[in-house]
Amino acid sequence: MKNRYEVVVIGGGIIGCSIAYYLATAQMDVALFDGGQIGAKTTKAAAGMLGAHSESDGDFSLFFPFARSSQFEYIRLKDELFDLSGIDIGYRNGGIIKLALTENEMQDLHSLLKQHTVKELSRQELQCMEPGISDAVLGAAYIKDDVNVIPTNTCEAFAKSAVILGASIFDSCNVYEIEKHENNYIVKTAKGNVKAKYIVIATGVYSNHLFQNLGISEQLSPVKGESIIVQHEKPLLQHTLFHDKSYIVPRNNGKLVIGATMIPDDWSESINLDSVESLINKAKMMLPSSANWKIEGFTSGLRPTTFDGHPFIGRHPEEEQILIACGHFRNGILLAPATGKMIRDLILNKEVKQEWIDAFRIDRRQKTLI
């Protein structure tokens, strides 16, 4: 390990690895530190949906354009990362079918259906696309562009590609403290101290102690998500099924993910029997034949959420050479490319859309109170 780098990224989930990758493509001397294994926490538990439309909750003015830009970036990245790393990120076409079981839920789809990229499906059309769908479903919105990737593969591809381009990655290496030293920063790690011109905090829900260290008053809270991994000999779904924040995601590796619970302020990564039961019931409600699937395993992760549900992406309010990329909640996989590009461009003083800077700045709560 060298004693000096141009940029130190702290956090080895998909956000940190994406940032390291984009910085490495700009030929910056970057080191990434993670206290555990790369991609082994929240990233590992994610389903991998690139749900720019389905996750927008009707907000097509702010979140959607940023998420859509990230979704588009994956079209290029899937080949670029494979060419560099040899890792297939599991990019799967097919899209998301967002289900409605009541007339009120059909009404709730109206704002989504205004998007020209979304198609309304009648019950008959839905049955043709997914013959096993529940009789309780009245209709749906079909979002062809909301595809999915395998999160662990994608994170590994970002990390390996960054290393190939010259980045250094250190796992099992906690960062304890950041100290300002003249025009640089000293990063105190389990393997010794390093100096850096720029620091990027990308430690997800575990960022609070570094926030406090850096004089940031905001805090991140966990929302635990539990999922079931199943496998079936025959491909039973061509599309992701989505209803009321729950989903069944078919992957290119032959597995399906049934998820996910939403348990706020729970710091444990254990999996609850009641949660498993609720996920199974939800899957059977969407696709009755899922009752015959064989469970392969379970995953659990702590989604990092902010006071308003939108991520913190941008500069420290008082230290321009410290940047924050945390709090992506349910959308870390989706937003990883756009976040990586935005942090890179801020460090290089390239143009970034002002509305994104304002929307994701970490001191936006204080700005709205002035």
pLDDT of residue 154: 98
Looking at the structure, tell me whether residues 363 and 231 fall in a common domain: no
Domain that holds residue 239: 93-144+221-305
Residue 74 lies in a domain: yes
Across 217-230, average pLDDT = 97
Specify if 117 maps to a domain.
Answer: yes
pLDDT at 235: 66
Q: What is the CATH number of the domain that holds 279?
A: 3.30.9.10
pLDDT score recorded for residue 297: 96
Q: Is residue 84 part of a domain?
A: no
When divided into structural domains, the chain yields a total of 2
Position 353 in a domain = yes
Are 327 and 239 in a shared domain?
Answer: no
Give the pLDDT score at 328. 97
Whether 177 is covered by a domain: the verdict is yes
Span 161-187, pLDDT tens digits: 999 999 999 999 999 999 998 899 999
The confidence band for 369, taking pLDDT boundaries of 50, 70 and 90, is low
Q: Is residue 87 part of a domain?
A: no
The verdict on 314 and 273 lying in the same domain is no
- Boundary (domain end) residue, out of 265, 285, 305: 305
Q: Which amino acid, residue 306?
A: T
Reported as a single tens digit per residue, the pLDDT across 243-268 is 988 999 999 888 999 999 999 999 99
pLDDT 10s digits, 9-62: 999 999 999 999 999 999 999 999 999 999 999 999 999 999 999 887 767 778
CATH number of domain containing 72: 3.50.50.60
Which two structure tokens, joined as six digits, stand for 80?
Answer: 């670029």
Residues 332 and 189 in one domain: yes
If you average pLDDT over residues 143-165, what whole number do you get? 97
* Least confident interval from 145-154, 207-216, 232-241, 277-286: 232-241
Q: Are residues 155 and 262 in the same domain?
A: no
Position 20 scores a pLDDT of 98
Spatial contact of 45 and 301, defined as CB atoms under 8 Å apart? yes
User: Residues 71-116: pLDDT tens digits?
Assistant: 999 999 999 999 999 999 999 999 999 999 999 999 999 989 988 9
